[in-house]
Each structure stands twice: as C-alpha cells, then as structure tokens.
Amino acid sequence: MSFDFLVVGAGVAGLRAAIGLAEHGTVLVVAKDTIEESSTEYAQGGIAVALSDDDNFSLHLQDTLMAGDGLCFEPAVEALVQEGPARIEELLHWGANFDKENGQFLMGREGAHSRSRVLHAGGDSTGHEIARSLYEQARSHPSLSFQSFAAVTDLLIEDGRATGAVAYDQRTRRRVDVYARAVLLATGGAGQLFLNTTNPTVATGDGIGIAYRAGAEVADVEFIQFHPTALFIPGRPRFLLSEALRGEGALLRNINGERFMQRYHPMEELAPRDIVSRSIIAEMRATNATHVLLDLSHKDADWIRHRFPTIYETCLRFGIDLTTQPAPVHPAAHYIMGGVRTDLHGQTSVPGLFAAGEAACTGVHGANRLASNSLLEGVVFGARAGEAMLAQSKGPETGHTFGDEQFPLMAREDLQRLAWEGCGIIRDAAGINEVLHRIDGGGRQLITEPDRRDYERRNLATVLRLVAKAALKREESRGGHYRADFPAKLDQPLHSCLKRGEGTRLISWPVSASTTA
C-alpha cells in the first residue's frame, strides 16, 4: 500500500494534521481501535486559550511556564498560545460547539491558571465535541482514508529515513507494509503503563516505543502527570473527575471529612496537579486510607447536573450522587509530558518521521502540563506538523524494521503494577532500580503469530524501561518527577534524552531541534 502521507492515530493531533495534508495528496489515517477511541474522546476539562477581554498571550504563556517548573521550551509555548485563537476559530468554522451563556463563551478556570480561559463543550465533553468536528471535516476530503482496528507495529527505514510503517490488521491477522512520503505519529500517551490510569486501553505508548526502536530520540519521559482525582471504585477503571470540578469549587477532604489542601499549598485545591497528587498520597498515608473525598455537595444540585452531566451520570451509576455526597478519589496516571523529541514543526531526529500531540515532546509542557493545554497542543502542533510534512519528497517503496518478534515474558498487569510501585508518584533509586532489574531480567519469548496485545506489551515494556532510565538519571525533584531521595530541585534545568545505543543524557534544550517558531 502506498499513500502520500501516513498518520498514525485519530485523536485531535492526527486528525488536524490529516485535514491539512488531504488538500495536497492522499492520506491514510490508521486507528488502533475504532476511530472514536482516543484520549481526545475522554478529555473532559476543556481547551485553554486566551480569548477573553481580561486575558492575553503573555498571561497564558506565563501560567504555562510556571506550571512547567522551569523546563518549558519557551518558543514552543509562544507558538501554542499565539496560534491557539486561530485554531479555535478554525474549529468553530468546522462546526465545533462550545458552551455559551447570553451569547458569550463560558470561560472556566482551572488549577494554576491566573485567568478564566478554558472553553468547554457539553459541560464535560469537550474532547468528544472537538473530535467530532475534526472527524466530520476529515470525512469531507475524498483523498483521506481511514483504517481502523489496526496497530502500527514498526517503522520502515531506508538509508536512515522513514519511508512508511508496518500495520497489523487484527481482523485478518496480517501485517501490511504502508509506504508514504512522510509518517506522523499521533498515537497519544502511555497511561496504560500504570496500574491506576484515566487513559483508554489503547494508550500503550506505541508511538514512543516504535520511534525509539527505529532510532528516534525520546525526551523527558520521566515526567508523568498523575491526575489527583480519579473515581476510586475497587475493581473498576479509574474514571477521570475533571479538574474543572475543583475549578468550580469542589473541595478535597480526607476520609474523616476534613479539608487538608491548605496544609500543603497556598492555592489549596487549585495548586498544580503534581502537588495536589502528592498531597493526596500524604493524606492517605496519614489517615491510613485507600482514598480521599472530592466534595461538590455544597453547590446547587441543578447546576451540578447541568455543568457536569457526564461526570454526574457516571458517578450515579456507581451509586454516588454528587449533589448530596462526596466521591471517593485516588490519583491516577493521566498524561506524559515527554515523548518522541521533535522541533517546533513536528520533525523528529529521523528524516521523514514526525510526531505531534501527547506522543511528541516539543518542550511545550516542561516538567508539568498546565491544565487544558493538551487539546490546544494537539490542534496547534498537529497543524504545524501537517504543514512541515508537505515538504517531504517521496522515498523508495522499500525499508526494513528495527523491531523483532521477541516479546517480554512479563504480563501486562505485572508491568503496570511494577510501574506504579517503582515509577509512580513518589520515586527513589531503590524502586527505580528494581524496575530496571525486573524489566532487564524478565526474559523474552518468540511469538510466531503475535496479536495486538503482544505488540502493546512490547511497547509498554520499552516505555517503562525508558521512563525508569530517565527517572534514575534525574537526581532531583521537578514537576511530575518526584524523588524522595533527591527532594530538592537542581539550579540548572536539563532535559533527559534517550536514543537507542547511546544511553541516557541530560541536555540543555535545544541541541539539534529547530528554534524557529
């Protein structure tokens, strides 16, 4: 199979890139599950953009830099906040409907924002609405095709250049070589690496895993954002309870019903996510509890049902009425700030290979992503990557892979438990070294007919090893990376960088990435 452009992933970044590319050639968008199954679909909180009269680019930039804890690449943040309004106007033109009141957009405020700048759709269904509008626009292009129920397992490389990818179709159990002028990895995050996560089951770090095996640089993967408030029902998936709840006045209480955030940070419930997550863990330990409580019951009942319809109905299905009682919550892995290292136009260190969205690392989020910047990142840098891909010339329809059919013996659940215990919210050298010891000593097996679950397990093991190596190298605490044995922050902010065969480095940003905004 041959197309001008191959886009791996059908979330906001992949769809936005594909729409721009479809005007200039044939495009194949590959989704691992149904087209609708992506992290975009689960994004409740909203999309942050400086649109209101009391807001501006500079304020949004400063809030992003502050949340990023000294590690944001400022040109990337400038691109994000300055191009954000145009991307929102584009979404509106394509039919996206954001919540309004009296003809004006409702702008919410979330943790670490100095202004109310977060647009929502359907109260708490923002990602779904953005994905819907992008998908409808994408479908209008006859040169754009979708292939679902397929996983991309490896990249095709010829003379150091990406010339396509290998796709696995689980329905036919066949592997297919797909050739293209340029390949975009927009595969989302790696939340399924952890025992507790808000991410969908497809978020297994595929883009990071296959790019690393093909020789691309990976950066800052030790920075994992753990969302403070995931619904805690034993034996059930950790459903996200949006930060917008706390932005609208929800309170955190310990198991005894006492508020506690004032003891940990002056911004209390609106402190940055990493601080709130660690505070919850500390409070759970102090009270010998498995969870804390998120309380919105002091707000008007009709307002709760209208403002957070999906969250309200989901909690109600579990027997929790948010209008009258608090919800049990526990931190869960939510977002990875690092990923495949790119310049400001999505270009990776491998010619012909691009990345955008959560799978990529432009440095825009630094050590800790500002709430509701992820959807904006997807549309801004998805558009940028699409524009840059147009300059790629057609390569030969040949290529080899760096993958193999040796798969880790460790079961997915064991990997997740190992990651949670050794590379979770609070880390130390002993726990990280245990992760590396068990990953490296766990053994591998030859599977002659692997399926999607095997490929996912291989990627999870690859990404966990990268996270552990970067976390061990970073002997400080910063943003989403907290070392109990190195609680202080180093004076010089450095980025981790990993490349196959070259080990783990801490570098200043950028070394080879473009600084052109």
Domains of the chain: 5-189+337-389 (3.50.50.60), 228-330 (3.90.700.10)
* 161 Rama sector, left if φ>0, alpha if ψ -120 to 50, beta otherwise: beta
Omega cis (within 30) before 331: no
Q: Give strand ranges (E) for 282-384.
A: 292-295, 327-336, 339-341, 353-355, 360-361
- Measured between alpha carbons, how far is 168 from 181 in angstroms, rounded to an integer? 20
Amino acid identity of residue 149, one-letter, is: F
Half-sphere exposure for 220 (CA within 13 Å, toward CB) = 37
Count CB atoms within 10 A of the CB of residue 163: 27
Closest CA to 323 of 285, 362, 295, 282: 295
C-beta of residue 344 within 8 angstroms of C-beta of residue 75: yes
Instruction: Go through 345-382 and write b for each residue having 16 or more CB atoms within 10 A of its CB, e for each that does not.
Output: bbbbbbebbbbbbbbbbbbbbbbbbbbbbbbbbbbbbb
Let me know the angle formed at the C-alpha of 234 by 241 and 206, rounded to the nearest 5 degrees: 65
Q: What pLDDT is stored for residue 403 in this prediction?
A: 61
Question: What is the β-pairing status of strands 292-295 and 327-336?
Answer: antiparallel
* Bridge partners, 339 (sequence order): 219
Would you call 273 a catalytic residue per the annotation?
yes
Report residue 507 CA to chain centroid gap.
Answer: 23
Ordered per-residue pLDDT tens for the chain, 517 residues: 999 999 999 999 999 999 999 999 999 999 987 665 555 555 556 899 999 889 999 999 999 999 999 999 999 999 999 999 999 999 999 999 999 988 889 888 777 788 989 999 987 688 889 999 999 999 999 999 999 877 899 999 999 999 999 999 888 888 899 999 999 999 999 999 999 999 989 999 999 999 999 999 999 999 999 999 999 998 888 898 988 899 899 999 999 999 999 999 999 998 877 889 999 999 999 999 999 999 999 999 999 999 999 899 999 999 999 999 999 999 999 999 999 999 999 999 999 999 999 999 999 999 999 989 999 999 999 999 999 999 998 878 888 887 666 899 999 999 999 999 999 999 999 999 999 999 999 888 888 889 899 999 999 999 999 999 999 999 999 999 999 999 999 999 999 999 999 989 999 876 444 444 4
Both structure tokens of 16: 């936005």
Residues 199/39, Cβ–Cβ less than 8 Å:
yes
Which of 13, 39, 12, 15 has the alpha carbon at shortest distance from 29? 15
Question: What local confidence, expressed as pLDDT, does residue 517 receive?
Answer: 44
Angle between helix 412-422 and 452-473 (nearest 10): 20
- How far apart CA 144 and CA 122 sit, in angstroms, is 28
Which residues are paired to 272 by β-bridges?
none
Q: The dihedral of CA 198, 202, 208, 212: what is its sign? A: positive
Catalytic residue among 273, 384, 427, 458: 273
Residues 6 or more apart from 145 whose CB is under 8 A from it? Answer: 3, 26, 27, 28, 29
Q: Answer yes or no: are the C-beta atoms of 28 and 206 closer than 8 Å.
A: no
Please give the pLDDT value at position 247.
86
Residue whose entry in the numeric block shows the structure tokens 């940055």: 272
Residue 45: per-residue pLDDT: 63
Helix-, strand-, coil-residue percentages of the chain, each rounded to 5: 35, 20, 45
Contact 179, 4 (CB under 8 A): no
Whether the Cβ atoms of residue 389 and residue 424 lie closer than 8 Å to each other? no
CB-based contact 255:231 (threshold 8 Å): no
The two structure tokens encoding residue 304: 């709760």
CB 469 within 8 A of CB 475: no
Residue 1 has which token pair?
Answer: 């199979």
The residues, any chain, with a CB within 8 Å of residue 280's CB and separated by 6 or more, are 228, 252, 292, 329, 330, 331
Position 38 scores a pLDDT of: 53
Contact residues for 480 (Cβ-Cβ < 8 A; gap 6+): 222, 223, 224, 225, 226, 273, 274, 337, 367, 368
Both tokens assigned to 398:
């040949």
Give residue for tokens 């199954």: 37
Positive or negative, the CA dihedral 383, 385, 391, 394 is negative
Return the bridge partners of 496, or none.
506
CA separation for the pair 198, 227 (Å, rounded): 8
Q: How far is CA 409 from CA 111, 211, 462, in A?
A: 41, 22, 13
